[in-house]
Amino acid sequence: MSLLPYLVAGWLLLIGCFGVVRSRGLVHTVVCVAVAQSGTYVLLLSIGFQYGASAPVQGAPGPVVDPVMQALTLTDIVVSATVTALLLALVIQIAKRTGTVDPDQLDELRG
Amino acid sequence: MTVDPSCLPPLGIAIPLAGACVLLALAKFAPRVVVDTVAMTTAVVSVAAMALLVAATSSGRVVTWVGGWTPKDGSGVGIVLAADEIGAGFALLACALTACALIYTWRYFDDAEAHVHVLILLFLAGMVGFSLTADLFDLFVFLELMSATAYALTGHKIEEPRSVQGGFTFGVVTSLGAYFSLTGIGILYARTGRLGMPQIGAALDGHGLDPLVLAALVLVLTGLLVKAAIVPFHFWLADAHAVAPTPVCVLFSGVMAPLGLYGVLRVSTTVFGGVLPAASLHGTLVVLGIATAALGATLCLMQRHLKRMLAYSTIAHLGLFLIGLATLTASGVAGAVLYVFGHAGVKGALFLMVGVLLARKGSVDEFDLHCQGRDARLTKWLLPLGALALAGLPPFGTGLGKAISEESSGLTALFVLVSAATGGAVLRASLRIHFGLGPPPQDTDSDTTTGDDEKQEGRFPQRLPATMVVAITVLLTGGLLVGVVPAVADALGAGRSASWTEPGCWPRPCTAPRPRRSAASTWSGRGRASRWGLAQRPPEGRRVANWAITYPSHRGP
């Protein structure tokens, strides 16, 4: 098993966090959260992957990749879609109410 | 009538989900009173189901393989729910608090459509699932179900700039935390080929603690500690609590954040209990707990926005709970769980009383409300009482829980100072508002969030609606009963090490010696059970045999 997919997964997770910290716009923040979550897709898929194996469907010839991990990744994608949509909806409301999406100018909540 | 207890854990998740679906279907044309009734009925039925489950767990752990996917010949892909006394207790707490929040909601929102009720019921399903699951991936799924509905509830007042900002901060921080947890879960699956918590634990016993497993532990715990608002990830909680609708704050403070700590307990004992040196885990968690408690208490004293004050008090108490849990002894864990229960009742009642102030006066600002509450009849006396209970006044559950926790952790001074500081802050605000004590405060600090431009929720300037009085009374009484009735403490596993009613019998740490256990009986082993505060359980019967079977590895060559 190659090490590359694990490094990619770790890189995506960390660069997503870094993006959230450095973000200058809330849409960018949401996208960075989604990037961090992509790291978990890559990790889960690469854990289940085998070279030369086919998709885990009934009657597939030869070895198949781990179906558990594929199911987990699908669940993860559903979760991601929900969270991203909800966060983007909140960004739209923030932009409507305050006229800005720059986190530095949102100072309603202090102390 | 006898109920097969193994059908109760799935029912705890299914009932709120079904109620939410019915409500969503009715929402278009049903009048408000029908919506309220259906939501209330669902919550009450859930409370009954979870109460039965708690009763059933007193004679052993209730294990359910969902959909009948029991393992065959030692292998299986089924999903398992397992309820022990603490897990079922948390599920019951979530249901009871939801019922109180729904009673309060009855007259609270003028304009609430069915959305709030649907979201609260979905939130309940997530919390019950989180308490009862014994599958690590399901733990993540329920964590996210709980979180996503919580973001929506926080940002419910979408016309308010503060509300959407608080919801956004909450969403970004806890989602990132949950993804770290998922990464850790993936690593654990890669290492062991299993997802069930006790099965992973059994497999890890053979592997030992290598750097990869340690990394997985850190990643999984990170997400749960973020959810529990432990320093340095505490800031979302104050923002979310300050802006969420008041009935929702009751759920956030009372059970959602403590559930993060419950997750920490479950993961660190069931999954990593066999490989992790207890001393190092204890040291790490205690340091985090002390930092959280000190920071929360300090910031609590500096607040003037009443909801933020209560939120920082919750953060301080979460730190204390973590210190209690970190002892990993029977009495420490039982004390922390009792403390959580007492705190949930008291803090919930305090939040609801602040909600009453917001509805009557249109403000939650301590300075702005100075002398304004002299005409309140009920809350005038109950708010100071709640503040004292928050500081650990016997015989409230907070007092008993604090006593057991501080006794078993040895940090008495910290517990006393922190709980006195948070109770004192609330008492200060309440005396200023209701009795006009002290000189009018000077408004000089511009860096603190004020509470005078919160949107007024509900309007009833003359009389307090009976439903709100009922909700406040039920919560305070609940907080009292946890401390007074030995059966409550007993049901939570604390009664064996402490009893409030016997004078001179204050709790002392009682760590049962840990018997040797075989890898095949991981979670049912009495060794681990003793560290869950359940030291003297009878040997378990037939169910354990199904439960303890481990999966073989799914991995191909």
For chain B, the structural domain boundaries read 277-511
Nearest chain A Cα distance for residue B425, angstroms: 16
Nearest chain B Cα distance for residue A44, angstroms: 6
- Would A110 be classed as within a structural domain? no
pLDDT of residue B314: 96
Provide, as residue numbers in chain A, all residues whose Cβ is less than 8 Å from the Cβ of B174.
none
Q: Of A17, A76, A97, which has the smallest distance from its Cβ to B164's Cβ?
A: A97
- Which residues 54-73 of A are in CB contact (within 8 Å) with B? 63, 66, 68-69, 72
Q: Which stretches of B27-160 are DSSP H helices?
A: 32-57, 85-108, 114-132, 136-154
Which CATH number does the domain housing residue A94 bear?
Answer: 1.10.287.3510
C-alpha distances in angstroms, B445 versus A110, A111, B297, B366, B492?
Answer: 11, 10, 19, 13, 45
Contact between B125 and B150 under an 8 Å Cβ cutoff? The reply is no
The number of folded domains in chain A is 1
Q: Cβ–Cβ of B448/A111 closer than 8 Å?
A: yes
Return d(Cα B243, Cα B306) in angstroms, integer.
11
Q: Of A86, A98, A110, which has the smallest distance from its Cβ to B171's Cβ?
A: A86
Q: Of B166, B183, B243, which has the smallest distance from its Cβ to A40's Cβ?
A: B183
Q: Does pLDDT of A103 surpass 70?
A: yes
Q: Which stretches of B114-243 are DSSP H helices?
A: 114-132, 136-154, 161-192, 197-207, 211-227, 235-243
Provide, as residue numbers in chain B, all residues whose Cβ is less than 8 Å from the Cβ of A79.
141, 144, 148
Q: Does pLDDT of A29 surpass 60?
A: yes
Give the three-class secondary structure for B426: helix
Q: Of B165, B187, B190, which has the smallest distance from its Cβ to A109's Cβ?
A: B165
Return d(Cα A2, Cα A12) in angstroms, integer.
17
Contact between B525 and B517 under an 8 Å Cβ cutoff? The reply is yes
Q: Cβ–Cβ of A90/B168 closer than 8 Å?
A: yes
Return d(Cα B533, Cα B536) in angstroms, integer.
9
A42 close to B (CB below 8 A):
no
pLDDT of residue B47: 95
- Would A19 be classed as within a structural domain? yes
Provide, as residue numbers in chain A, all residues whose Cβ is less than 8 Å from the Cβ of B164.
90, 93-94, 97
pLDDT of residue B520: 32
CA angle (B256 as vertex; B252, B259 as ends), nearest 5: 155
* Residue B487 burial (CB count, 10 A): 9
Q: Cβ–Cβ of A75/B152 closer than 8 Å?
A: no
Q: Cβ–Cβ of B165/A13 closer than 8 Å?
A: no
Q: Of B168, B302, B447, which has the smallest distance from its Cβ to A87's Cβ?
A: B168
Nearest chain A Cα distance for residue B486, angstroms: 41
User: Structural domain of residue A49, as residue ranges?
Assistant: 4-105
* Phi, psi for residue B110 in degrees, rounded to 5: -70, -45
- Would A40 be classed as within a structural domain? yes
Nearest chain B Cα distance for residue A97, angstroms: 6
Q: Cβ–Cβ of A108/B556 closer than 8 Å?
A: no
Q: Of A20, A36, A90, which has the smallest distance from its Cβ to B155's Cβ?
A: A90
- Would A37 be classed as within a structural domain? yes
pTM as predicted: 0.87
Q: Does pLDDT of A98 surpass 90?
A: no
Structure tokens at B333: 């864990």
pLDDT of residue B461: 59
pLDDT of residue B390: 94
pLDDT by residue, tens only, chain B of 557 residues: 567 888 899 999 999 999 999 999 988 888 888 888 999 999 999 999 999 999 888 888 888 888 888 877 666 677 889 998 889 999 999 999 999 999 988 877 666 578 889 999 999 999 999 999 999 999 999 999 999 999 999 988 888 888 899 999 999 999 999 999 999 999 999 998 888 888 888 888 878 788 999 999 999 999 999 999 998 899 899 999 988 999 999 999 999 999 999 999 999 988 998 888 888 899 999 999 999 999 999 999 999 899 999 999 999 999 999 999 998 888 889 899 999 999 999 999 999 999 888 888 888 888 888 888 888 888 889 999 999 999 998 889 999 999 999 888 889 999 999 999 999 999 999 999 988 888 877 776 666 777 766 776 666 656 778 888 889 999 999 999 888 887 776 666 544 433 322 222 222 222 233 333 333 333 333 333 333 333 333 333 333 333 333 333 333 33
**Residue B41: Cβ-neighbour burial (10 angstroms; 0-12, 13-18, 19+):** middle
Structure tokens at B83: 């309820």
Q: Cβ–Cβ of A97/B242 closer than 8 Å?
A: no
pLDDT of residue B556: 35
Nearest chain A Cα distance for residue B161, angstroms: 6
| C-alpha torsion sign, points B129, B132, B134, B140 | positive
Provide, as residue numbers in chain B, all residues whose Cβ is less than 8 Å from the Cβ of A78.
none
Contact between B188 and B202 under an 8 Å Cβ cutoff? The reply is no
Question: Mutate which of B137, B182, B365 to test chain A, going by most A C-beta atoms within 10 A?
Answer: B182
Contact between B323 and B293 under an 8 Å Cβ cutoff? The reply is yes
Instruction: Name the DSSP letter for residue B453.
Output: T
- Considering chain A, what percentage of its residues have pLDDT values greater than 70? 97
Return d(Cα B413, Cα A47) in angstroms, integer.
48
pLDDT of residue B522: 32
C-alpha distances in angstroms, A77 versus A9, A15, A45, A72, B418?
Answer: 15, 19, 12, 9, 42
pLDDT of residue B550: 35
Structure tokens at A14: 């960390």
pLDDT of residue B18: 96
Which chain B residue is nearest to residue A82, measuring alpha carbons? Answer: B148
